Chain A
Amino acid sequence: MRKTTSLAPKSKRPLKASSKVPAKAAGARQSITISTKATLPKELQLSIYDLMIKSRVLEERLIKVYKTGDAYFWIGGAGEEAFGVPLGLLTHKGHGPEYDYLHLHYRATPTMIALGMPMIDSLRLMMNRVTDPSTGGRNFCNHYCFPQWNVVPVTSPIEVQYGMAIGTAVAQRRRWYTAGGKTPASGKKSISIVSGGDAGSAEGDFASSLIWASRPGFELPMLITVQNNKWGISTSYDTQHGEKNVADRGKAFGIRTAIVNGNDPIETYLALQTEIDYIRKTGKPVLAEFHLSRIYGHSSATGANREPDVCPIELFEKKLVDQKWIKPHETKELWKRYDEESREAAEQVRKEPVPTRESIWDNIYVGSENADWRKF
């Protein structure tokens, strides 16, 4: 594990699986650059940058915690910051169907940080503490659950969230119509946002979301996103997908589609804003595909080492520095400050209690009504 949080990869060794992978699969991503035309206010850009660093530092802390043996597994969102942070910022956050629902997958730390999750809560999940607000120590890291922001439980089975998002969107659509087209008291019409990987789009649940979201006369306010990092563990995109873009599949259903450089936070922010506005206005779905990076490989199962993939933060940082919106030493301080915060949080979590054995019977039914057959 690297000692500092410097962005430069220590070794530029090739991807492990590269022997089986066509060269262009890995190479395709190198063409991603930061667009210079699109823009956002300076303040907003700096705060996106800040949140991206915070999220990355947190993920790197989670990896350290894994590598020092304080956790069993790591999987996370390092490399998805330029997508996840804008998503969190653009979510109409709150509890219940009057607000947006987030059906996330296991790479959503940037979104959670942007929503306002404290670093320590991610570490509590990572280290299976009873204080973990998502699962009470029951589930893997990055399997977030925050009802106050409609972040419904992240689960391991790939793609099931695409089906569940239909249900929350049906609940929201009902409220749109019972409100007679008026804007609800919460201020905005709410939508269901779902995210997941490129490989997972092969599951039937992905097709379900397209079919159910586009039924004539029953269209659903859904933002269906795909985070295309060109990999499913070790299987490359090019070897599995006959369709050029995953987003093309939306066209058959008359669903509006977008393909976005998900390594550029400005382009992503603007695209998300446009698509979300469209959904709030029309009540109709959007399928948006974001091309982005996987900085530490798939998970700790594949080593969780820095891989030679484009780093969205590195690109964005360079742009901000070149523009003189931030000074190089200020960037270093930011990384350091978050590193310190994450280290202290990890120290604190180490001291926190773990779940008890008896607690396996808690919360099987509401109010922990007895679910143990021995006591029937």
Chain B
Amino acid sequence: MANMAQAIRMALHVGETRLGVTDIFGQDVGAPLGGVFTASQGLKNTWNSPLDERGIIATAIGLGLAGDRCVAEIQFADYIFNTIDLLKMAGNTLWCSNGQYNLPIVVMTPVGAGIRGSIYHSHSFDAWATRLPGWKVVIPSTPLDAYGLLISAIKDPNPVLFLNPKSLMRVRGTELIPGEPADEKELKNMIDQPVDDRKHQWRPKWPQLEEFEIPIGKGKIVREGDRATVVSYGRTLPLCAKVADMLREEGVAIEVIDLRSLYPYDWQMIKASVHKTGRVLFVNEDTEVTNFGEHLAFRATQDLFYELLARPRVLAGKNVPGIGLHPNLEEASVPHLEDILHEVRELLGEVP
């Protein structure tokens, strides 16, 4: 099974060979490195940009104005913050021009904690991203979803922000990407650049991949259950699924929804689940004040008040300036397995 970095690479290959992607660019995105997570190795339309995030986003906007399709990368979401007004502008260009200029661009950026990345390789961007009207925002938690969401993002005529959880980049999937060889080693030999390729003679051999799409705006129920609903995405999603598996051994079935798209988001899926369970917890790792989970919890309170057996809860990153390097600091700052398990137990135990 492919890992997420390979899945992204394969989607970009489909993008540049079949979907008209003309430029895949950013810092160290092109040869020889092919991206700090190797997600853009072996592609033909990649290039290295100057070390200038504002330049990267502005160039993406310009390419979009010219009608070209690009995928631009900000090396780490921690370094996207000085582009925020340009991101706002990319989101408002269609609206300000009253429908005259759409920007068919994708911006990818690795997000979140979990790789001992210290203060400036651990930031989340999901709450900020959902405050950029005009963008669509996706965040996969599996290689297959990364592949399908990236293909949808490339095809979409609107700007799409593709947040890839960096702690999941090396995690292997459990579902084959349509066209991917079943043998992991075979895939590696085909599309992973050998580490000793000093002379840059290596060329990838791409599998016959299908244009498999995950529709933007659709979540996925990853564990079924009727006692409580847990809505998450990105790095914390597999942890929520694990909590569901642990509780199942105790005979308690909780439903876990992978939201996958943050805007537009799959409210119908959340709603149907909460109708069934009456209890809901929103989990993510961005800081907790003005957090996207808060918006969803607010909406649950407004729309589903009379369906609820317990108050909706949000488990998010602590509102501290950064994620410290020592594991004690990181674990105290962003949700981990134990925190999620604890919060779910509290939710289940609440008596109306």
A joins B in a complex: yes
Q: Report A's interface with B, CB cutoff 8 A.
A: 96-97, 101, 132, 134-136, 138-139, 143, 145, 147, 152-153, 155, 157, 160, 162-172, 174, 192, 204-205, 208, 211-212, 215, 362-366, 368-371, 373, 376
CB atoms of B50 and A211 under 8 A apart: yes
Q: Quick one: CB contact mask for B148-166 with A, threshold 8 Å, 1 for yes?
A: 0000000001100000000
A171:B63 contact, CB within 8 angstroms: yes
Cα distance A145–B22 in the bound complex, in angstroms: 25
Contacting residues, chain B, for A132 (C-beta < 8 A): 98
Interface positions of B from 307 to 332, Cβ below 8 Å from A? none
Docked-complex contact A135 and B97, CB < 8 angstroms: yes
> Would you give the shortest CB distance from B289 to chain A, in whole angstroms?
20
Q: Which of A147, A211, A365 has the most CB of B within 10 A?
A: A365
Across the interface, which residues of A come within 8 angstroms of B67, CB to CB?
96-97, 171
Known contacts A101-B66, A160-B85, A164-B61; is-contact A211 B52 (Cβ 8 Å)? yes
**Which B113-145 residues have C-beta < 8 A from chain A?**
133-134, 136
CB distance from B253 to the nearest CB of A (A): 26
Query: Using an 8 Å CB-CB cutoff, how does the interface string of B47-90 with A read, 1 for contact, 0 for none?
Result: 00110101101111111111110000000000000000110010
A163 and B98 within 8 A (CB): no
A31 to chain B minimum Cβ distance, whole angstroms, is: 36
Give the shortest distance, in Å, between B37 (CB) and chain A (any CB): 24
Q: Which listed residue, A153, A174, A204, A215, touches B93 by the CB 8 Å rule?
A: A153
Residues of B within 8 A of A139 (CB): 96
Q: In the complex, how many angstroms separate the beta carbon of B5 from the nearest chain A beta carbon? A: 26
Max chain A C-beta neighbours (<10 A), residue from B61, B66, B133, B265: B66
Please give the distance in Å from B10's CB to the nearest CB on chain A. 24
B89 lies within 8 A of A145 (CB): no
Contact B59 A364 (CB under 8 A): no
The 10 closest A-B pairs by CB, nearest first: A167-B62, A163-B58, A136-B98, A171-B66, A363-B99, A208-B55, A167-B59, A366-B157, A376-B267, A167-B63
Answer whether residue B101 sits at the interface, using C-beta atoms and an 8 A cutoff: yes
The yes or no answer to B217 lying at the interface (CB within 8 A) is: yes
Task: Enumerate chain B interface residues (CB-CB to A < 8 A).
Answer: 22-23, 49-50, 52, 54-55, 57-68, 85-86, 89, 93-102, 133-134, 136, 157-158, 217, 263-268, 295, 299
Q: Is B89 within 8 A of A157, CB to CB? A: yes
Q: With A371-B133, A373-B264 given, is the CB distance from A167 to B60 under 8 Å?
A: yes
User: Within 8 Å CB of B86, what residues of A?
Assistant: 160, 163
- Contacts of B136 on A, CB cut-off 8 Å? 365
* Contact yes or no, B66 A166, CB < 8 A: no
Nearest-neighbour CB distance to chain B for A81, whole angstroms, equals 26
Which interface residue of B67, B85, B93, B96 has the most chain A CB atoms within 10 A? B96
Which of the residues B49, B65, B102, B265 comes within 8 Å of A376, measured between beta carbons? B265
User: A69 to nearest B CB, angstroms?
Assistant: 25
Question: Across the interface, do A152 and B55 meet the contact criterion of CB distance under 8 Å?
Answer: no
A162 CB, nearest partner CB in chain B, Å: 8
- Chain B's closest residue to A103 (CB) is B62
A134–B93 Cα distance when bound, in Å, is 11
Determine the distance from Cα of A208 to Cα of B23 in the docked complex, in whole angstroms. 18
Contact pick for A160, options B64, B89, B98, B266, CB 8 Å: B89
B99 touches A172 (CB 8 A): no
Residues on the B chain within 8 Å of A370, using CB = 264
Tell me if A212 and B61 are in contact (CB < 8 A).
no
**Contact assessment for B268 and A376 in the assembled complex, using a CB-CB cutoff below 8 Å:** yes
Quick one: closest A residue to B50, CB to CB? A211
Q: Which residues of B contact A162 (CB under 8 A)?
A: 58
8 Å CB contact of A163 from B62, B157, B263, B268: B62
For the complex, give the distance between the alpha carbons of A145 and B100 in Å: 8
A139 to B101, CA, bound (A): 15
List A contacts of B63 (CB < 8 A). Answer: 167-168, 170-171
Q: Report Cα–Cα, A297/B129, bound state, in Å.
A: 38
Which partner residue on chain A sits nearest B134 by CB separation? A364
B94 touches A167 (CB 8 A): no
| Residue numbers in B under 8 Å from A157 (CB-CB) | 85, 89
Which residues from A are CB-within-8-Å of B266?
376
Q: B23: which A residues are within 8 A, CB to CB?
A: 170
- In the assembled complex, the Cα of A371 lies from the Cα of B216 at a distance in Å of 13
Contacts of B217 in A (CB 8 A): 376
- Given that A211-B52, A212-B52 are contacting pairs, would A153 and B97 also be in contact in the complex, using a CB cutoff of 8 Å? yes
CB distance from A355 to the nearest CB of B (A): 9
* Closest A residue, CB atoms, query B268: A376
Closest A-chain residue to B93, C-beta based? A153
Check A166–B89 contact: CB distance below 8 A.
no
Q: B94 contacts which chain A residues (CB < 8 A)?
A: 363-366
Pick the contact of A363 from B59, B95, B264 — CB < 8 Å? Answer: B95
Given A153-B96, A376-B264, A376-B265, A163 and B66 touching (CB < 8 A)?
Answer: no
* Chain A residues closer than 8 Å to B85, beta-carbon distance: 157, 160
Q: Which of A164, A204, A364, A376 contacts B95 (CB 8 A)?
A: A364
User: Which chain A positions have C-beta within 8 A of B49?
Assistant: 212
CB neighbours (8 Å) of B299 from chain A are 373
Nearest B residue (CB) for A366: B157
Do the beta carbons of B97 and A134 come within 8 Å of each other? yes
What is the bound-complex CA distance between A138 and B68, given in angstroms?
Answer: 26
Given A134-B97, A373-B265: A205 in contact with B133 (beta carbons within 8 A): no
User: Shortest beta-carbon distance, A140 to chain B, in Å?
Assistant: 10
In the complex, the answer to whether A155 meets B89 with C-beta atoms within 8 Å is yes
Could you say which of A145, A165, A362 contacts B62, with CB atoms under 8 Å apart? Answer: A165
Q: Other CB < 8 Å A-B pairs besides A135-B96, A172-B66, A373-B264, 8 of them? A: A152-B65, A160-B85, A160-B89, A170-B23, A208-B50, A364-B95, A373-B299, A376-B266
Partner of B98, one of A204, A205, A363: A363
Q: How far apart are the CA atoms of A143 and B95 in the complex, in Å?
A: 13
| Contact A167–B133 (Cβ < 8 Å) | no
Instruction: Report the minimal beta-carbon distance from A46 to chain B, rounded to whole angstroms.
Output: 34
Structural contact, A163 and B101, CB atoms closer than 8 A: no
Q: What residues on B are CB-neighbors of A366 within 8 Å?
A: 94, 102, 157-158
The reply to whether B65 and A164 form a contact with Cβ atoms under 8 Å apart is yes
Residue A153 contacts which of B50, B66, B101, B134 (CB distance < 8 angstroms)?
B101
